[in-house]
């Protein structure tokens, strides 16, 4: 398990560094081609590789980090029962979307995100649905459970708790798209483009409903497979999903605010209110590790007393 933890930390660090390097290239270097031309041949090749493969690298590393985390803390069954529906259903939605325009609107992927499945969808796109979806779902589930534990009861029991977890996670996942889509489809270096005029900052409104539906679908399947067993993770154990979420929102927000005009402050604000703030509150609502141990000890004591 120590090796898995080391790999998890290495991949998280690589994910963050790749994003910082990518931001520097897209926001600082790319607008100034004279800087690139002034680099030695090796530097020009490195910059070219980073633009061509950097996006692939940071998404693959994030998926590996989340997979290691999931295996360690929620177990093999829960990990696979989230990952497989997330990959399969998001890929299906993307293939349908790029073929028919439903449910996201008419769009197509350009280059820079890796090999395209069926010539339509880069293989990294389902990975991003998976690792962001898992991160927000765990934050929502553990945060709500921590809040219930603080109240001394299961304030939202059973399927009601699962539905609230699903609703919060779906909204946070969609909030990420408010900065992701402008950054990836309207900034100077595009990774996909919409083929229809969008009324919502260049995006069609049905893109939002498509995100909500796709996220709710694969996380809903995972909810059914996970069952009603509460997700008890301490605040410190939620560091990785919180870091993954904040890094990815920040990546899109920096590109959006640095390379697009001031009107995009509104979708960036929506990402903050609908995603970043709930993620931070849910992380804070989780029980600290030392309190988790005390609660577990008290529960065992109560069970023993009842048995006697």
Q: What is the mean pLDDT of the chain?
A: 89
- The CA–CA distances, whole Å, from 196 to 43, 92, 186 equal 38, 21, 13
Percent of the chain scoring above 90 in pLDDT: 70
pLDDT of residue 229: 83
Q: How many Å apart are CA 62 and CA 128, to the nearest integer?
A: 8
- The CA–CA distances, whole Å, from 86 to 8, 40, 128, 246, 280 equal 20, 43, 10, 20, 24
pLDDT of residue 303: 41
For the residues 257-284, what does the mean pLDDT come to?
96
Question: Using one digit for the tens of pLDDT, what is the confidence trace for 60-95?
Answer: 999 999 999 999 999 999 999 999 999 999 999 999
For the residues 258-267, what does the mean pLDDT come to?
94
* pTM summary value: 0.90
- Tell me how crowded residue 150 is: count the other CB atoms within 10 A of its CB: 14
Q: Which two tokens stand for residue 35?
A: 């800087």
Question: Using one digit for the tens of pLDDT, what is the confidence trace for 190-245?
Answer: 999 999 888 899 999 999 999 999 999 999 999 999 988 889 999 999 999 999 99
Q: How many Å apart are CA 69 and CA 64, to the nearest integer?
A: 9
Backbone angles phi and psi of 138, in degrees to 5: -70, -40
Q: How many Å apart are CA 125 and CA 165, to the nearest integer?
A: 24
Question: Using one digit for the tens of pLDDT, what is the confidence trace for 7-37?
Answer: 999 999 999 999 988 888 788 777 776 766 6
Pick from 146, 270, 151, 142: nearest CA to 203: 270
């Amino acid at each position: 398990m120590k090796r898995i933890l080391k790999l998890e930390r290495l991949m998280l660090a690589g994910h963050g560094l790749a994003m910082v390097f990518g931001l520097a290239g897209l926001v600082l270097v790319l607008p100034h081609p004279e800087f690139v031309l002034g680099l030695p041949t090796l530097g020009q090749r490195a910059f070219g590789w980073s633009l061509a493969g950097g996006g692939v690298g940071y998404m693959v590393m994030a998926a590996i980090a989340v997979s290691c985390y999931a295996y360690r803390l929620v177990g093999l069954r829960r990990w696979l029962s989230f990952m497989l529906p997330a990959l399969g259903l998001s890929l299906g939605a993307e293939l349908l979307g790029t073929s028919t325009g439903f449910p996201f609107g008419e769009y197509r992927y350009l280059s820079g995100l890796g090999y395209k499945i069926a010539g339509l969808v880069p293989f990294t796109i389902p990975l991003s649905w998976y690792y962001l979806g898992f991160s927000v779902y765990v934050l929502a589930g553990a945060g709500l459970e921590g809040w219930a534990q603080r109240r001394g009861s299961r304030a939202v029991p059973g399927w009601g708790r699962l539905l609230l977890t699903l609703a919060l996670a779906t909204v946070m996942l969609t909030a990420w798209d408010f900065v992701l889509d402008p950054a990836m489809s309207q900034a100077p270096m595009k990774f996909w483009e919409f083929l229809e005029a969008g009324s919502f900052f260049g995006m069609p409104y049905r893109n939002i409903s498509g995100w909500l539906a796709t996220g709710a679908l694969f996380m809903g399947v995972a909810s059914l497979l996970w069952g009603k067993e509460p997700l008890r993770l301490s605040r410190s154990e939620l560091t990785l999903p919180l870091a993954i979420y904040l890094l990815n929102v920040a990546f899109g927000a920096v590109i959006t605010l640095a390379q697009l005009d001031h009107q995009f402050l509104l979708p960036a604000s929506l990402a903050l209110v609908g995603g970043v703030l709930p993620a931070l509150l849910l992380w804070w609502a989780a029980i600290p590790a030392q309190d988790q141990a005390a609660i577990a000890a008290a529960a065992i004591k109560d069970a023993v007393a009842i048995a006697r």
